[in-house]
Chain A
């Protein structure tokens, strides 16, 4: 009997405790939490300029690519003497990049192509990036995540050669990103002109490099760069211009070797990415022409 009574008291105590704790919990939940508005961190909405809004709608939302144009020392090589672009140059340059690169790939590869396989960041640098050897670094693709484009301030929208040079950086670097996502047959490709690769590629002119079976001087630096240069030259030229460039090579073996590399490039794009690179070439040439007009 005493035990039963004790048990009843204990049960009552537990019930009271549960009610008290519950009320305490509910009370705690009901308490309005003003901590966020009092945060010491800066939670204010950033002021967006027209340029920022353009980047959000045309790059971030559309392609899942952020554009970095304001200086951030954490994303550049601080051993180099570089600087950010002129603000008024940023949008015109981005519009050209969008038209010639993004729109062309989207038209051939589909709406999600670039969204799924793209650098997550496009970093714009204003001036030239000189190497110690006196050569100029035009662009960088880092881990498939970020493409850095130098010389933003030097883009002249009225000059086809100038635009082509700037876009060639993107075409080249984007090819690296495609290759970093799905590798190509490096061994097979490297067997075409195996003995002509050199770290001293800059000692050869483009014309001489072509007579050795390379589309450009820089293509001689490695198999990976050779492949990217092939894609680059195919996409910055119309099909007629590209063929004329190959036909102008006097060495027959060199011509054949470049065509053999071209076949591997076309096969890679078709089988791995379901893209006919010749169609992409045609669309890119058309879009380039529209920009210049």
Chain B
């Protein structure tokens, strides 16, 4: 009995020791040697140090939405722990503006530009590239989640706060701001509608040439290229040498990521290697002309340029706008201004009655005065619509309207195109471009 008691005592003592030993085992030891707060602080400090480490500042080419917008180039110089100066190629103001930034904890450590500067222009609900993005601006962000430093390139890797798209800050070169200013010169070369409204992209691969219409939405920095069988779209960002395409686009099996401006030949060239290339140039005529010139005269149709809505349409060329301005300069002394210019084909079903009607308003109160009619005859010549004089209802008005009228009745005729975009209303848009001066393009609503 005594023995068994002893055994029980011994077992109890051993169990107690085991229990105590187990209790003392430290199961709650940290996986990391530092607390989460310490690690967060360390990461904040790492980013803060990195941002201020570049004496020449940082450059970022920010594509806010690869589906519908191009890229904008920013220069950042982080002066101290809370001040940054920056500029960009968003507009023609290249002055360095100072504002505040902070490094804070969001879904991870993030760089936040906390007071207004250039980068916020991409997030201005009131300043979109066009009406379709009203309320959304350029879909931009100004808070960037920190994802570390690229050990090979030294880039700081971020992701955008809203969309989690990667954005890299690359160490700027010493003259980065100058490069940004020069990129605007490149921008002007590519978008100069005074050269011509027609641009094409010619792809030369293994001796075979493919031609595409090239159409750039200037405000969106977004390109569409197409021909009868293929269509591509992509965003671009300007630099001092040309422009980059991001993400790179593959056209007919050729991946294209950058075009360089060839000033001598006024072309943008992508060298695709092995003697292959893609070139963008201005043309005197569309590379793939439509037969819409026959469509517009096929029935009782009207096509009207309405100044209020179409003067600033992306397809209204600057030389067309100058023509309208000149007409208004001429009309102003007699108290009128131009409200509309309208093609009327086959009036009342009579193929012999067509006209260009100029609707005039009163400069004092904006009210409608009436229409001056220039009767015309029409014929189709080589994908063009040629209009000829057939008399005015009030001939005295002819000199006042000639700046516009001469272009519409130019001897070379008009290239006509039914466009696939809309402006403010659901009416189909048709454009009319002078064959004699391809920098003149009028935008109209169809009333078919």
Would A86 and B125 be within 8 Å (CB), given that A40-B41, A47-B82, A81-B139 are in contact?
A: no
Q: Tell me the complex Cα distance, A85–B116, Å.
A: 5
Q: Are B102 and A70 in contact (CB under 8 A)?
A: yes
- Verify A84–B120 contact, CB threshold 8 A: yes
Decide if A83 touches B120 in the complex (CB within 8 Å).
yes
Known contacts A40-B35, A41-B37, A71-B143; is-contact A81 B116 (Cβ 8 Å): no
Mostly, the A contact residues are: loop
A40 touches B135 (CB 8 A): no
From A40, A73, A86, A132, give the contact of B161 (CB < 8 A).
A73
* A73-120 interface (Cβ within 8 A of B): 73, 78, 80-87
Chain B residue at smallest Cβ distance from A80: B125
The answer, yes or no, to whether A126 is at the interface (CB within 8 Å) is yes
Q: Is the interface of B mostly helix, strand, loop or mixed?
A: loop
Residue in B closest to A83 when the chains form the complex, CB atoms: B120
User: Interface code A45-86, partner B: CB below 8 Å = 1, 0 otherwise?
Assistant: 001000000000000000000000111110000101111111
Closest-by-CB residue of B relative to A42 is B41
When C-beta atoms are compared, the residue in chain A nearest to B102 turns out to be A70
- How distant is the Cα of A81 from the Cα of B127 in the complex, in angstroms? 10
Interface flag for B405 (CB, 8 Å): no
Which of B106-114, B224-232, B348-356 forms part of the interface with chain A? B106-114
**What residues of chain B lie closer than 8 Å to A86, measured between beta carbons?**
99, 115-116
Report whether B126 and A73 are in contact in the complex, using a CB–CB cutoff of 8 Å: no
Is B137 on the interface with A (CB-CB < 8 A)? yes
Instruction: Find the A residue at minimum CB distance from B137.
Output: A81
Name the A residues within 8 Å of B48 (CB-CB). none
Q: Chain B residues with Cβ under 8 A from A171's Cβ?
A: none
Residue of B nearest to A128 (CB): B126
In the complex, residue of chain A having the shortest beta-carbon distance to the beta carbon of B143:
A73
**Chain A min CB distance to B368 (Å):** 21
Asked if B294 is at the interface of the complex by the 8 Å CB criterion, the answer is no
Taking A78-B162, A131-B135 as contacts, is the C-beta distance between A70 and B116 under 8 angstroms? Answer: no
A127 part of interface (Cβ distance < 8 Å) = yes
| A84: B residues at CB distance < 8 A | 113-116, 120
Query: A232 CA to B37 CA in the complex, in Å?
Result: 47
Q: Is A276 an interface residue (CB 8 A)?
A: no
Is B26 part of the contact surface with A, judged by Cβ < 8 Å?
Answer: no
Cβ of B124 within 8 Å of any chain A Cβ, yes or no, is: yes
Interface assignment of A282: CB less than 8 Å from any CB of chain B: no
In the complex, how many angstroms separate the beta carbon of B251 from the nearest chain A beta carbon? 32
- Bound-state CA distance A85–B100 (Å) is 11
Quick check: B112 and A71 within 8 Å, CB to CB?
yes
CA distance A4 to B429 in the complex (A): 114
- For B432, the chain A residues whose CB sits under 8 A away are none
Residues from chain B with a CB closer than 8 A to the CB of A127 are: 120, 124-127
B197 to chain A, nearest CB (A): 30
For residue A247, give the distance in angstroms from its CB to the closest CB of chain B.
26
The one of A85, A128, A129 that contacts B115, using a Cβ cutoff of 8 Å: A85
Closest-by-CB residue of B relative to A69 is B115
Instruction: Decide if A130 is an interface residue (CB 8 Å cutoff).
Output: yes
**Which residues of B have CB within 8 Å of A128?**
124-126
B38–A82 touching, CB < 8 Å: no
Which chain B residue shows the least CB distance to A134?
A: B134
A131 and B136 CA atoms in complex are apart in Å by 10
Query: Quick check: B116 and A129 within 8 Å, CB to CB?
Result: no
Interchain CA distance A85-B114 in the complex, whole Å: 9
A86 to B124, CA, bound (A): 13
In contact, A129 and B114 (Cβ under 8 angstroms): no
Q: Once the chains bind, are B113 and A71 in contact (CB under 8 Å)?
A: yes
Please give, as numbers and ranges, the residues of chain A lying within 8 Å of B161 by CB-CB distance.
73
5 A–B contacts, CB within 8 A, in A order: A41-B37, A70-B100, A82-B123, A87-B115, A132-B135
Chain A contact residues, CB within 8 Å of chain B: 40-42, 47, 69-73, 78, 80-87, 126-132, 134, 136, 153
Interface contacts beyond A126-B116, A130-B125: sample of 17 additional A-B pairs, CB < 8 Å, sorted by A: A40-B38, A69-B115, A71-B113, A72-B114, A80-B125, A81-B125, A81-B136, A82-B123, A83-B123, A86-B116, A87-B100, A126-B120, A127-B120, A128-B124, A128-B125, A131-B135, A134-B134
